[in-house]
Structure 1
Amino acid sequence: MKIKLGLVAIMLVFLSACANKQKLEQAESAQACEYQPGVKAPQWYCDPQYEGGLAAVGEAAPNPAGDNNMQRTVAMGNARDDLARQMEVEVKNMLENWTRTTGTGEAQTYEANIANVSRQVANQTLNGSNQLARWVAPDGTLVLLVGVKDQGSLRNSIKTSLRNEDALWQQFQSQQALQALDREIDKMLDNR
């Protein structure tokens, strides 16, 4: 009986150790996201995701004027730039690689040159990009997670409203309101 209880106790300890090891391995595989070495960041900083669309991270360092609005605008712009490149990017690349040896024997020299020039251009309209999350790093850098829904579904919803009479009427009213606003601004500027 004592032998059976001892075996059961050993097995329980062994199973408990295995479970703890598995939890530790899972935690290590999920690795904490770091902004800089030793500075933890939200997981979305390392792995930006947005269900049903695309996500990107934009950063902006604090500016000397302390203008938070400017900092947010820069961070949003950086994230949108990344979103546009995720959707479509034109890449031009040139790789130049050459090697040469000169001389003979002990006087022989070897030269190598590698030049890699790359240019990326994105031209994409982003409809409905939104800030999903915000984090301020310890150094004051504003970090934003920005997402945009799948552009294919947006295009379909736009196509369905293009022939809709209500949508056309709203568009006409918007144009009228903008023209009226322009006239009022012109009047104000003329009176100065």
Structure 2
Amino acid sequence: MKLFPLRFLSVVAIALILPLTYLSASQAQTGTLVAQTAQNRDLQSGRPVVSGDEGQFVGQVLVNVPAEMAWQVLTDYDNFENFLPGVASSQLLASEGNRRVFEQVNEVRVAFFNRRTRVRLATTENFPRAIDFQLVEGDVESVAGSWQIDPVPNNPNQVVVTHRVNVDPGPDNRGLFFNIYRNSLRDTLGALKQEMERRAEG
């Protein structure tokens, strides 16, 4: 029986592995492109789009309002409970320059999972484009992120509202918390769009 040098076998192994690796990468890229295309369609149709996992999420929604109206709703801290799902109460506590501190109480009830969380957030406002926020204190380990308002080119009455957030609930029920948070973010974006467009019409 003829024995092949180990070096030759290594080359053959690499030659066999490389096409498989390339196929896997190509398939992954194709899957990503398909997902992005679907998300773009949803975004253009006005449906909220949310991506991410494990506490790092990005959400977007196209809204038919000027940037100033989107800003008015995003900074209406005292009234979040009136139009945002899951918000039991919200109150502005401090305001100085472009900095705000507000406290929000959220309630989540899904099947056997009930959770009420209180968070106090500090925001830095950069009118009319961006709001950065971070946790001051509360019932979660950490929260930080931003809201961004981007006018649609050639259409002053349309904006894309983008929400980026990193959230760590602590050690308990993390997987369940993240799933619920992702779904609630989609609902929140939909509610914001509805409130922004309602105010613009009124």
Please report the TM-score for the alignment, with normalisation by the length of structure 1.
Answer: 0.33
**Larger-gyration structure (1/2):** 1
Higher share of residues assigned helix: 1
Higher share of residues assigned strand: 2
Please report the TM-score for the alignment, with normalisation by the length of structure 2.
Answer: 0.32
